[in-house]
């Protein structure tokens, strides 16, 4: 038996918005000269929405879609940052071709159908 109540509809809408936000973020990052190395990179210790490379910097990008940029920025908890950091360490350890690169943690704030702001170096471990 499947659930088809209002909660399911809200969840599906949020998932659709999240996929749209990630696609928008990848597009913006490509336009800014970043190469997309991975998307939805999952490990046992965490997940990273987008992993990029530009020059000698590997960017680990968390995408947040909310009504306002402030709400999007505040949606990233310290616990989530720690999980992203551990997943980033896993990625770096298992990708020999990027181990000499610098790491950076970025955030893509999506606040409308096509409104996006990239915060480079949003936090440091």
Structure tokens at 80: 């989530």
Position 76 in a domain: yes
CA 62 – CA 116 distance, rounded (Å) = 13
| pLDDT of 5 over the 70 cut | no
Render pLDDT for 84-107 as a digit per residue (tens, 0 to 9).
Answer: 999 999 999 999 999 899 999 999
- Whether 46 is in a domain gets the answer yes
Nearest to 107 by CA among 124, 86, 87: 124
Q: What angle do CA 67, 68, 69 make, to 5 degrees?
A: 135
Residue at 94 is within a domain: yes
Measured CA angle at 85 (ends 103, 51), to 5 deg: 55
CATH number for position 19 = 3.40.1350.10
User: Where in the sequence is the domain holding 113, given as residue range(s)?
Assistant: 6-123
- The answer to whether 69 and 111 have CB atoms below 8 angstroms apart is yes
Domain-located, residue 1 = no
Question: Rounded distance, CA 58 to CA 109, Å?
Answer: 19
For residue range 21-42, list pLDDT tens digits in order: 999 999 999 999 999 999 999 9
Residue 12 lies in a domain: yes
Gap between the Cα atoms of 103 and 100, Å rounded: 10
Instruction: For residue 48, tell me if it sits in a domain.
Output: yes
- 73 SS3 class: helix
DSSP label at residue 99:
T
Domain count, the chain: 1
Is residue 106 in some structural domain?
Answer: yes
């Amino acid at each position: 038996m499947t659930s088809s109540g209002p909660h399911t509809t809200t969840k599906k809408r949020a998932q659709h918005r999240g996929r749209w936000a990630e696609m928008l973020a990848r597009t913006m990052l490509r336009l800014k000269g970043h190469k997309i190395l991975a998307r939805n990179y999952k490990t046992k210790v965490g997940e990273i929405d987008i992993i990029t490379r530009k020059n000698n910097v590997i960017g680990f990008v968390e995408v947040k879609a909310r009504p306002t940029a402030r709400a999007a920025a505040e949606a990233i908890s310290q616990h989530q940052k720690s999980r992203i950091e551990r997943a980033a360490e896993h990625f770096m350890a298992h990708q020999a071709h990027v181990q000499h690169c610098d790491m950076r943690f970025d955030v893509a704030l999506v606040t409308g159908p096509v409104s996006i702001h990239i915060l480079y170096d949003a936090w440091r471990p």
